[in-house]
């Protein structure tokens, strides 16, 4: 989807420019643009509610279902009618592949198995108690993991005749669960009727890699569409793959490509690129190491109370000096003598 304003503006421009030479492509682009506008408003609300358990029927699940349905329809239009028709274009081709990755990004956020975010209701662990084929409840946890020591297993001698007879009887017998002790299947999400539940991270990562490769090969480093691809790719790595280091590395590289670019830019492209670079700069700072003192605004000094008192006195002295300097500057700026009558006459 066209999540960013830059994508929506470019998608609308391409839909308008292809209206005469290819009306069908223009119609499909307008449909994708309309779906993107509707999705962008719902995603702002739904991203704060995605920790809700998707297996329970609640009122907010209607918004989840609408998001998944809109994303499914947008991906269908994009893959069936848009991508086969954009090979002759450059910017539109990059944008189309970026939109496909964006739709898979939505699937990973709201309809992935396993979920990339923990649900609101935590179920039983996957490595809990299981039922063996003989009907005896045996914990899957290895013996000795609960204790710091390892005990020797107890060996019980078994007569040879009984062992051979048991092997003969169990050879033609198929192990089955006792009646009423069948494994419990986890409940399926309510949106499974819209889209099959599966792991979309592999497909989404491949789509983002392909879109980023196309953007690097076809567009300059300061192009807004290239920066938009890198921006959402970094957000996907941080939100879905949970790799802050790779996210910061990708954002830093995108910013470096902007400063190393030598191509010319118009005013609109410059403003769009500057806005995306500003967001990328915040993503570089996001996820950094917290301070050891438990606060990000103040750090402790190793000198003890004396250092704190000296620091506070120094801070008060500096604040007093800064206040005096500011007052002097303000008085000078507001003084009527700072501007001569001749200067005022010339300005009038």
pLDDT digits (tens, 9 = 90+) for 242-254: 999 999 999 999 9
Report yes or no on 184 lying in a domain. no
303 has pLDDT over 50: no
pLDDT, average across residues 30-59 = 74
State the residue range of the domain holding 88.
5-118+190-285
Report yes or no on 237 lying in a domain. yes
Q: Write down the pLDDT at residue 309.
A: 41
Report yes or no on 222 lying in a domain. yes
Report yes or no on 84 lying in a domain. yes
Q: Write down the pLDDT at residue 241.
A: 92
83 has pLDDT over 50: yes
Q: List pLDDT tens digits, range 105-121.
A: 999 988 888 877 654 43
Q: Write down the pLDDT at residue 326.
A: 45
d(CA 307, CA 300): 10
Question: Nearest 10 degrees: CA dihedral of 212, 213, 218, 224?
Answer: 10
Confidence at 140, pLDDT banded by 50, 70, 90: very low
pTM equals: 0.62
d(CA 220, CA 158): 77
At what angle are helices 5-17 and 267-285 packed, to 10 degrees?
150
Q: List pLDDT tens digits, range 152-205.
A: 444 545 455 555 655 555 555 555 656 665 666 656 666 666 777 788 999 999
Report yes or no on 175 lying in a domain. no
Tell whether the torsion through CA atoms of 61, 65, 66 and 71 is positive or negative.
positive
CATH of the domain at 22: 1.20.190.20
Q: Which residue has the higher pLDDT, 197 or 240?
A: 240
Report yes or no on 264 lying in a domain. yes
Q: Write down the pLDDT at residue 130.
A: 36
127 has pLDDT over 90: no
Tokens of 236: 């996907």
Report yes or no on 305 lying in a domain. no
Report yes or no on 332 lying in a domain. no
Q: What is the DSSP string of 122-182?
A: ----TTSEEE-TTS-EEESSPTTTTSSS-PPPP-----HHHHHHHHHHHHT----PPTT-P
pLDDT, average across residues 196-223 = 92
Q: Which residue has the higher pLDDT, 341 or 78?
A: 78
Give the helix ranges, DSSP H, for the chain.
Answer: 5-17, 23-46, 61-77, 91-110, 160-171, 201-218, 224-239, 244-260, 267-285, 305-334, 341-347
Q: Write down the pLDDT at residue 62.
A: 79
Q: How many domains does the chain fold into?
A: 1
**198 strand-pairing partners:** 112
């Amino acid at each position: 989807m066209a999540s960013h304003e830059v994508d929506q503006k470019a998608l609308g421009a391409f839909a308008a420019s292809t209206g005469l030479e290819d009306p069908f492509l223009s119609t499909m682009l307008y449909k994708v643009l309309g779906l993107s506008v509707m999705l962008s408003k719902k995603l702002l609300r739904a991203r704060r509610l995605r920790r809700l358990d998707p297996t329970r029927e609640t009122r907010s699940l209607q918004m989840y279902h609408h998001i998944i349905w809109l994303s499914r329809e947008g991906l269908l239009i994009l893959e069936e009618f848009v991508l086969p028709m954009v090979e002759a274009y450059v910017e539109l081709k990059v944008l189309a592949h970026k939109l496909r990755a964006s739709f898979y990004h939505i699937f990973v956020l709201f309809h992935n198995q396993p979920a990339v975010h923990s649900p609101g209701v935590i179920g039983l662990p996957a490595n809990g108690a299981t039922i063996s084929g003989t009907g005896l409840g045996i914990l899957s946890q290895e013996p000795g993991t609960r204790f710091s020591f390892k005990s020797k297993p107890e060996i019980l001698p078994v007569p040879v005749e009984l062992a051979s007879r048991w092997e003969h009887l169990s050879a033609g017998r198929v192990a089955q669960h006792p009646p009423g002790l069948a494994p419990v299947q986890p409940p399926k999400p309510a949106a499974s009727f819209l889209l099959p539940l599966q792991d979309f991270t592999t497909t989404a990562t491949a789509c983002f890699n392909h879109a980023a490769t196309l953007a690097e090969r076809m567009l300059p480093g300061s192009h807004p569409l290239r920066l938009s691809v890198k921006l959402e790719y970094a957000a996907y790595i941080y939100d879905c793959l949970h790799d802050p280091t790779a996210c910061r590395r990708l954002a830093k590289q995108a910013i470096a490509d902007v400063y190393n670019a030598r191509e010319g830019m118009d005013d609109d492209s410059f403003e769009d690129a500057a806005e995306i670079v500003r967001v990328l700069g915040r993503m570089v700072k996001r996820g950094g190491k917290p301070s050891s003192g438990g606060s990000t605004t103040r750090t402790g000094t190793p000198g003890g109370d004396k250092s704190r008192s000296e620091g506070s006195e120094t801070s008060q002295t500096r604040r007093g000096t800064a206040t005096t300097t500011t007052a002097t500057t303000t008085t000078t700026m507001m003084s009527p003598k700072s501007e001569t009558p001749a200067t005022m006459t010339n300005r009038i």
